[in-house]
Amino acid sequence: MPGNQRGGLLPRGGGVLEVEEYVEFLAKEYLSGYVTRGGAAVKLVVVGDDAGSRRLSAGLAETAADGFVFAAVDAAGTRVHMVDQLFFAIARQVDWVGLAGDVVRRAYEHVGFPAQGGTPSGLSVSEVAAYHEVDGTELYRSARRALEHAVLGDSTLTHEFRVAMLRLCQSLLGRGDVDVAETEAVLGWLRGERVPAAKLRAVSLFTRVARHSARPLLLSLARWLRRAGRRGLIVELDLERLAVARRPPAEARDGFYYSKAAALDAYEVLRQLIDATDELEGVLLAVLIPPELVTDETRGLPAYSALQLRVADEVRDRRRPNPYAAMVRLSVRLEAVR
């Protein structure tokens, strides 16, 4: 296996991997090559305690700093059985204006007048035109035409997503096409905030994000990140809350709790994402689940065979874990938590 050929990434013994070992494995075997080139993978990660979950989250976030966008979603704080709520939770952690700025910067480069500086605030047509000593009106026409071709012409993105991204890009040109209020309307639409319908119509967005449109938008987001120069998207999805069968007393409740039906809906969302890996571009989804959900026939994976059949253990050596498996079990180094 590749792990054996690259410095012994596979451990020599024990039935589970250590958290740090697995993060290193993901970075070398998936993120640095496969995901960066546009591949996608969904990994179910079984971590036995909170310390392990924190170490895994920290490791993924640190790895993501190398050109990836990282989003952490917890079932306790997000209704993960609804794909639109999952999209909103990810969207709130994305620097949409920064991404639009990178696309605008590429448009200026395409027309032969690269912008100076690395912040979106320095991308107005007037500043770029002044730096290159060219006519601002002509530069605006060229830059807008390049943006429309790059954004509206990208048929791999959904139509509404293209419209939203074009509005964000136009807002950075500083020519009054999109004002501050309209920019906020677009951002609110992406994040699932309450935006008046009239404000959405003003930016040519005529429907709100719902369950039927959220998954295509998530696919579009993954592609947009790469168009903007990012290596990909890393999502950490913590499903520990699904294991709570009974809600605590009202005064002790924190966040959302899930009925059995809602838990099964969450598994269906995950199943759809697994089946969409051929469409996802540059995505690693790490799903944290507690050990009890692996075997619980009432609320766990066995209760939803459509998902369990996709992630069930392959041929498993009790003495040697397989980090390439769809489901992996992790432990924590004792010195890491002391």
Query: What DSSP letter does each residue of 2-26 carry, written as one string?
Result: HHHHTT--S-SS-SSEEHHHHHHHH
Q: Which residue has the higher pLDDT, 11 or 250?
A: 250
* Cα 167 to Cα 203: distance, rounded to the nearest angstrom: 7
Q: What value does the CA radius of gyration of the chain take, rounded to a whole number of Å?
A: 22
Residue 208, SS3 per DSSP? coil
% of the chain exceeding 90 in pLDDT: 81
Domain limits, the chain: 2-67+231-336, 96-202
Contact 308, 258 (CB under 8 A): no
Tens of pLDDT, residues 260-312: 999 999 999 999 999 999 999 999 999 999 999 999 999 999 999 999 999 87
* Cα 280 to Cα 204: distance, rounded to the nearest angstrom: 26
What pLDDT does 320 receive?
74
- The DSSP H or E segment spanning 58 is helix 50-64
Contact 19, 25 (CB under 8 A): no
Using alpha carbons, select from 264, 265, 244 the residue that is nearest to residue 255.
244
Q: C-alpha angle 60/83/155, rounded to 5°?
A: 90
| Residue located via tokens 């709100």 | 208
What pLDDT does 85 receive?
98
Q: Residues with Cβ < 8 Å from 261, sequence gap 6 or more?
A: none
Tens of pLDDT, residues 24-39: 999 999 999 999 999 9
The first and second tokens of residue 24, run together, are 């290193």
Could you give the maximum distance between any two Cα atoms of the chain, in Å? 70
The first and second tokens of residue 236, run together, are 């950490």
Q: In what order do the strands lie in the sheet with 40-47?
A: 17-18, 327-331, 40-47, 283-289, 232-238, 68-74
What pLDDT does 166 receive?
97
CATH placement of domain 2-67+231-336: 3.40.50
What pLDDT does 216 receive?
96
Q: Residues with Cβ < 8 Å from 267, sequence gap 6 or more?
A: 301, 303, 304, 306, 307
* Cα 96 to Cα 236: distance, rounded to the nearest angstrom: 19
| Residue located via tokens 């639409």 | 189
| Residue located via tokens 């480069």 | 109
Query: What DSSP letter does each residue of 239-276 carry, written as one string?
Result: -GGGG--SPPPGGG--S----HHHHHHHHHHHHHHHHT
How many H helices and E strands in the chain?
14, 6
* Cα 245 to Cα 88: distance, rounded to the nearest angstrom: 26
What is this structure's pTM? 0.91
* Cα 330 to Cα 47: distance, rounded to the nearest angstrom: 5
The neighbour count for residue 219, using CB atoms within 10 Å, is 21
The first and second tokens of residue 135, run together, are 């006519």
Residue 118 confidence class, pLDDT cut points 50, 70, 90: low
Contact 163, 64 (CB under 8 A): no
The mean pLDDT of 205-232, rounded to a whole number, is 96
Contact 180, 114 (CB under 8 A): no
The mean pLDDT of 101-126, rounded to a whole number, is 89
* Cα 169 to Cα 107: distance, rounded to the nearest angstrom: 10
